[in-house]
């Protein structure tokens, strides 16, 4: 058997898999977005072609603008704090001290838990009357906050949860980046009389830039499609206050059974996510084989 | 900062960040009534296992369903990914890099899009409320990831190893099964663990590809449990603890694989 034939033979199951389970759904999703799909369509096979009507209907839906804006807030808020806290922790745990590796490993746990579990725990902590967050506020003399029932508080609440979930991811990748910076650079900077802040600004930050970029881009791609956390904590409510494009797409397809419109929003999400994905892949370019 | 001060500060940071997990454990061990008092108990005393009894009684079947789906996903992912990774890492041809690029791109597709179209596809194939359906849906996330992790590892296997097998007259298949796979054991474990963890934690496919009439993974079980207005938080939190067990085991048993696995699938080597 020639090497090329062997290469293709070993790759064949994966090739078929990708064609069937990514190629087909993607094409199907595009077709679905330009047809009038209803529950009945799945049985009768009838789904008349409607062109861009689904896109117009979904975008014209008053919820769309709110969901788009929420998606931006959710993404920017989550990433800014996950990254900031993750970086601070990475710098802190980069120092050698007793237990540093073990403590850092423990911090991975929130990232490995099922998102539904994290969502359920935070929903319990956000409980207005019995939640521990409001207990803490009362202890220091502040009024209780209607975290999940007030349209102004619900989005900050789900963002807070998502920040907590995202910290370990940022911590681990940034810590890996820090470890790759040669210690001799810090020694040289210290000899030149640089203080801790100057060492961070002039050595750590510039040398960490490639990893920073990767962390932010991956964070964007992942955060835009967050679903579980929002569904479990608020279900997109109250009054669509926490609806994002992802939950909006779900709700169009699986609550309103407007599968064409759900697919249309899905395609918008693909464009945004792969757009950031391409930026990421360009910056993290590697010899691919 | 001196070492000891740092250790104390590190412990405090961990305590603050892991507090929600303590709070879950705490609530899971308290009687339901105690959870609805004006001031919460910070220690679960006296502890009760009622929550766990209820969790096992109402969610035990869902936990088993999740186990079947996650196990199946590991099997499907490794069966497809291991030979593919060998091909991409060791048998270069022009199509290889294109395929790797395709794998990186499909990982960017939001799950909701896959759920939407798989629902339509599975509806016509009779794979709604079906173990095989959930396994195949979950593997759309784990197959590309597993291929990339395994490929990154196999690229680093010394060429002398497979060449020695070739000299001894082993064909490609023999080289794959008796040299590459055994040497890649750690990477296979990593890819398998992550596939298990993903499928175990999956909520999106579980909630879209089941109707509540047939099988229901534990993530959907928790979701409906919480959604219930008269939520019994003691039972919910006990279920949440049980659903966290695989992640906890992974952290203890395979902690050193975790970082390697995550960076192998997502970040350039």
Cα(A216)–Cα(B219) distance, integer angstroms: 28
What pLDDT does B46 receive? 83
What pLDDT does A274 receive? 87
Q: Which candidate, B142, B54, B219, places its Cα nearest to that of A229?
A: B219
Q: Which candidate, A162, A271, A252, places its Cα nearest to that of B115?
A: A252
What's the CATH number where A133 sits?
1.10.3720.10
Query: A165, A229 in Cβ contact below 8 A?
Result: yes
Which residues in chain A touch residue B255, judged by CB atoms under 8 angstroms apart? 105, 108
Q: Which candidate, B39, B48, B148, B45, places its Cα nearest to that of B88?
A: B148
Percent of chain A with pLDDT over 90: 71
Residue A221 domain flag:
yes
Give chain A's end-to-end CA distance (angstroms, integer).
22
The whole-angstrom distance between B237's CA and the closest CA on chain A is 7
The whole-angstrom distance between B10's CA and the closest CA on chain A is 7
Q: Is the pLDDT of residue B262 over 60?
A: no
Q: Which candidate, B183, B150, B178, B167, places its Cα nearest to that of B83?
A: B150
Closest CB to A228 among B13, B91, B204: B204
B81 CB neighbour count, 10 Å cutoff: 29
B85 CB neighbour count, 10 Å cutoff: 29
Residue of B nearest to A44 (CA): B124
Exposed, middle or buried, A146 (CB in 10 Å: 0-12/13-18/19+)? middle
The answer to whether the Cβ–Cβ distance between A269 and B113 falls below 8 Å is: yes
Residue A23 domain flag:
no
Quote the number of domains for chain A. 1
Q: Which of A161-165, A246-250, B10-14, B184-188 has the lowest mean pLDDT?
A: B184-188
- Alpha-helical segments (H) within chain A: 3-18, 24-33, 39-44, 53-60, 62-94, 100-106, 109-112, 115-126, 132-139, 154-179, 183-191, 196-199, 205-224, 228-233, 245-254, 259-283
Query: A289, B152 in Cβ contact below 8 A?
Result: no
Cα(B215)–Cα(B137) distance, integer angstroms: 15
Residue A152 domain flag:
yes
pLDDT (mean) for B8-37: 92
The residues near A102 (Cβ < 8 Å, ≥ 6 apart) are none
The whole-angstrom distance between A125's CA and the closest CA on chain B is 8
pLDDT in tens, B124-165: 899 999 999 999 999 999 999 999 999 998 998 888 888 888
Indicate the DSSP class of residue B40: -
Residue of A nearest to B79 (CA): A13
The answer to whether the Cβ–Cβ distance between A120 and B259 falls below 8 Å is: no
Taking CA atoms, B84 is separated from A9, A15, A287, in Å, by 9, 9, 18
pLDDT in tens, A166-213: 999 999 999 999 998 998 998 899 899 989 899 999 999 999 998 998
pLDDT in tens, A129-171: 889 999 999 999 999 999 999 999 999 999 999 999 999 999 9
Chosen from B55, B85, B88, B112 to mutate, greatest number of chain A CBs within 10 A: B112
Q: How confident is the model at residue B68 (pLDDT cuts 50, 70, 90)?
A: very high
The answer to whether the Cβ–Cβ distance between A116 and B222 falls below 8 Å is: yes
Cα(B165)–Cα(A84) distance, integer angstroms: 50
Which residues in chain B touch residue A7, judged by CB atoms under 8 angstroms apart? 87, 91-93, 95-96
Q: Residue A196 has which token pair?
A: 């801790």
Q: List average pLDDT for each run of 10 residues in chain A, which is 289 residues long.
A: 89 96 92 83 76 91 96 97 97 89 90 95 93 93 94 97 96 92 90 90 92 91 93 93 96 92 93 86 58
Chosen from A2, A12, A17, A67 to mutate, greatest number of chain B CBs within 10 A: A17
Residue A241 domain flag:
yes
CATH topology of domain B58-265: MetI-like fold (1.10.3720)
Residue A252 domain boundaries? 62-284
Residue A154 domain flag:
yes
Q: Where along chain B do its domains lie?
A: 1-47, 58-265
Closest CB to B92 among A9, A263, A289: A289
**Cis omega (within 30 of 0) for bond into A238:** yes
Percent of chain B with pLDDT over 70: 93
Residue A16 domain flag:
no
Residue A40 domain flag:
no
Which residues in chain A touch residue B123, judged by CB atoms under 8 angstroms apart? 42
What pLDDT does B243 receive? 96
């Amino acid at each position: 058997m020639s090497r090329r034939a062997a290469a293709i033979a070993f790759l064949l199951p994966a090739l078929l898999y990708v064609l069937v389970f990514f190629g087909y759904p993607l094409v199907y999703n595009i077709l679905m977005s330009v047809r009038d799909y209803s529950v009945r369509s799945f049985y009768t096979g009838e789904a008349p072609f409607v062109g861009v009507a689904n896109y117009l209907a979904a975008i014209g839906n008053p919820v769309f603008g709110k969901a788009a804006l929420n998606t931006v807030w959710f993404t920017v808020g989550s990433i800014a704090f996950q990254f900031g806290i993750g970086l601070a922790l990475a710098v802190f745990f980069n120092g050698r001290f007793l237990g540093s590796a073990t403590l850092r490993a423990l911090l991975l746990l929130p990232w490995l838990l099922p998102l539904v579990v994290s969502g359920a725990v935070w929903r319990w902590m956000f409980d207005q009357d019995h939640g521990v967050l409001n207990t803490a506020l009362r202890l220091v003399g502040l009024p209780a906050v209607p975290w999940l029932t007030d349209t102004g508080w619900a989005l900050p609440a789900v963002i807070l949860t998502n920040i907590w979930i995202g910290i370990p991811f940022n911590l681990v990748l940034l810590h890996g980046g820090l470890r790759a910076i040669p210690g001799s650079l810090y020694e040289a900077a210290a000899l030149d009389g640089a203080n801790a802040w100057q060492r961070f600004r002039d050595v750590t930050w510039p040398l960490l830039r490639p990893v920073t970029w990767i962390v932010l881009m991956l964070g964007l791609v992942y955060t835009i499609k967050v679903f579980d956390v929002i569904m479990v904590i608020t279900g997109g409510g109250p009054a669509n206050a926490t609806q994002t494009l992802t939950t909006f797409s779900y709700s169009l397809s699986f609550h309103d059974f407007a599968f064409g419109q759900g697919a249309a929003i899905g395609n918008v999400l693909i464009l945004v996510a792969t757009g950031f994905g391409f930026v990421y892949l360009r910056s993290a370019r590697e010899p691919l084989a | 900062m001196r070492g000891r001060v740092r250790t104390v500060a590190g412990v405090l940071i961990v305590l603050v960040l892991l507090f929600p997990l303590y709070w879950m454990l705490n609530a899971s061990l308290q009687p339901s009534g105690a959870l609805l008092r004006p001031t919460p108990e910070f220690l679960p005393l006296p502890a009760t296992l009622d929550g766990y009894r209820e969790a096992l009684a109402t969610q035990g079947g869902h936990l088993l369903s999740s186990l079947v789906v996650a196990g199946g996903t590991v099997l499907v992912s490794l069966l497809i990914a291991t030979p593919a990774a060998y091909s991409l890492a060791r048998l270069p041809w022009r199509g290889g890099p294109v395929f790797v690029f395709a794998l990186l791109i499909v990982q960017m597709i939001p799950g909701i899009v896959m759920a939407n179209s798989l629902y339509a596809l599975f509806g016509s194939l009779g794979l709604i409320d079906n173990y095989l359906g959930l396994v195949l849906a979950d593997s759309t996330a784990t197959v590309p990831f597993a291929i990339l992790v395994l490929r990154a590892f196999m690229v680093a296997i010394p060429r002398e190893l497979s060449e020695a097998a070739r000299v001894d007259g082993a064909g490609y298949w023999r080289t794959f099964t008796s040299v590459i796979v055994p040497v890649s054991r750690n990477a296979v474990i990593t890819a398998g663990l992550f596939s298990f963890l993903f499928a175990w934690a999956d909520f999106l496919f579980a909630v879209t590809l089941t109707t509540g009439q047939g099988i229901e993974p534990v993530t959907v079980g928790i979701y409906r449990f919480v959604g219930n207005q008269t939520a019994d938080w003691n039972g919910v939190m006990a279920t949440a603890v049980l659903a966290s067990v695989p992640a906890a085991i992974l952290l203890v048993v395979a902690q050193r694989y975790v970082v390697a696995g995550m960076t192998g699938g997502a970040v350039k080597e």
